[in-house]
Amino acid sequence: MTINKATHGHWSSRFAFILAATGSAVGLGNIWKFPYITGENGGGAFVLVYLLCVVLIGIPIMIAETMLGRRAQSNPIEAMQQLTDEAQADKNWRYLGWLGVIAGVLILSYYSVIAGWASAYIFKDLFGSFFGIDATQSQTLFDNFTASPIQLIFWHSVFMAATMWIVAKGVNNGLEKSVRFLMPSLFVLLFLLVGYAMTTNSYQQGLDFMFNLDFSKLTGNAILTAMGHAFFTLSLGMGAIMVYGSYLPKDVSIAKTAYLIAAADTIVALLAGIAIFPLVFEHGLHPASGAGLIFQTLPIAFGNMTGGWLMGMLFFVLLVFAALSSSISLIEPAVAWLVENKNFTREKACLWTGLGTWFLGLGTVFSFNIWKDVVFFDKNIFQLLDYLTANVMLPIGGFAIAVFAGYIMKREHTESELQMPCTQSYDVWRILVRYVAPASIFLVFLHVVGVLG
């Protein structure tokens, strides 16, 4: 297979990579998913497990995945083939690249639908749909919206079109320029919402829910969810960090940038919870409301507060910005492979990957209406895709990345690529990526399938 290296772009600076990778990490996972899975899994103890997963599993694997991409200087599929040949390893390791690309496309197929909800809710807010509504009316508004496949398809299409337009413009003119605008805007909007939450009477209750530890609410599946979310929110195991790493100049420290990205991502998730839970409690709503938490509960808060229409609009704009910064990274590995290996123009690659992902997204659209009674393993299509990708494919991908970087690649290659400031730093990373990360993933899987207690 011949790779077209001339088509492979690079970030203009370390800062551009940090913004892009943070944008990939910071998305719906932080602002839509983290609050509702925290609500479903009891709050503080779940948050603590999630933070431990980020530090002990997420960061070491992020360093490893970035390193794989930069060493190969190509898309995940071609990267794993090159690195497998370099290490003279079993040829089956090349399928790790395919696993990441497929996971990214599957995630974007439902991610785009949820982002479409946020896009629609911007306009619902502007046209006064939230004004003075109570819990029943908010539930009805959400149910009527998701029951309409035409509306969901329209907003799903709008979001996918925006994603592919950005990606079609390339690394510097599309990906880099978009995140330079999206990421600072996202942080400004999030701090505004946190500031508003601090003015509510339930601010302390929200903090207590997020940070008071109650380990009685932790289950094996909750721990798997926390670990899976660490992968999901850091964009690990889905090819995004690997392909972004391939655009990273050789003189940039991978470890330092990984720490900064993980820190920024974690801060956004915590800030989102701090902004959302006080509003939930302020209006007597339930934090364990599932995937529709912010769409069913926050409109009540926004509809009954002074200046709520503005805060509501800012929140859903924030959600769309966050979703866009991640969606462009989810599809980029597939686009890069078509451009570099199949001689597609970038525009043609975006068109075909966008259409394919859009078509897959119809399964999620219909799982809320005409196919809502179609279930597999007690899950509808959306729930099954979410569970399969976040709780199975990403941890498996992360496990394989850790094993490949820790055992298959030669030590001199990882040392020269990472260029850590001291031997001790490298040794700590190597211990985490060889022993702690894979063992933790393996033990959690054993617990969930019932092999362990």
CA 282 remoteness from chain centre: 28
Range of the domain at 311: 5-448
Whether 453 maps to a domain, the answer reads no
Structure tokens at 141: 């508004």
Whether 409 maps to a domain, the answer reads yes
DSSP 113-168: HHHHHHHHHHHHHHTTTTTT--HHHHHHHHHHHHT-HHHHHHHHHHHHHHHHHHHH
Structure tokens at 137: 């009316």
Give yes or no for a contact between 316 and 145, defined as CB atoms under 8 angstroms apart. Answer: no
Number of domains in the chain: 1
- Tracing tokens 């999206």 back to the chain, one arrives at 182
Whether 350 maps to a domain, the answer reads yes
Nearest to 404 by CA among 106, 86, 104: 86
Whether 367 maps to a domain, the answer reads yes
Angle at 95 between CA 94 and CA 96, to 5 degrees: 90
Structure tokens at 7: 């088509």
Instruction: Please state, in angstroms and rounded to a whole number, the distance separating the CA atoms of residues 319 and 310.
Output: 14
The CA–CA distances, whole Å, from 73 to 65, 76, 78, 160, 335 equal 12, 9, 9, 27, 15
Sequence-ordered list of residues with C-beta below 8 angstroms from that of 344, at least 6 positions apart, any chain: 338, 352
Whether 55 maps to a domain, the answer reads yes
Whether 406 maps to a domain, the answer reads yes
Task: Taking the CA atoms of 443, 446, 452 and 453 in sequence, report the sign of the dihedral they define.
Answer: positive
Q: Mind listing the pLDDT tens digit of every residue in the chain (453 residues)?
A: 444 444 445 565 666 667 766 776 777 777 777 887 888 887 888 999 999 999 999 999 999 999 999 998 888 888 899 999 999 999 999 999 999 899 989 999 999 999 999 999 999 998 888 888 887 888 899 999 999 999 999 999 999 999 998 888 765 565 566 667 666 777 787 888 888 888 888 899 989 888 888 888 778 778 888 888 888 778 788 788 888 788 777 777 888 888 888 888 888 888 888 888 887 788 777 777 666 777 877 788 788 777 778 878 888 887 887 788 788 888 888 998 898 888 889 899 999 999 999 999 999 999 999 998 888 888 899 999 988 888 788 888 989 999 999 999 999 999 988 888 778 889 999 999 999 999 988 887 776 555 444
Give yes or no for a contact between 254 and 261, defined as CB atoms under 8 angstroms apart. Answer: no
Please tell me what DSSP assigns to residue 90: -
Q: What is the CATH number of the domain that holds 147?
A: 1.20.1740.10
Runs of H (alpha helix) within 342-436: 346-366, 381-388, 394-403, 411-418, 423-431
Give yes or no for a contact between 301 and 294, defined as CB atoms under 8 angstroms apart. Answer: no
Task: Taking the CA atoms of 411, 412, 415 and 416 in sequence, report the sign of the dihedral they define.
Answer: negative
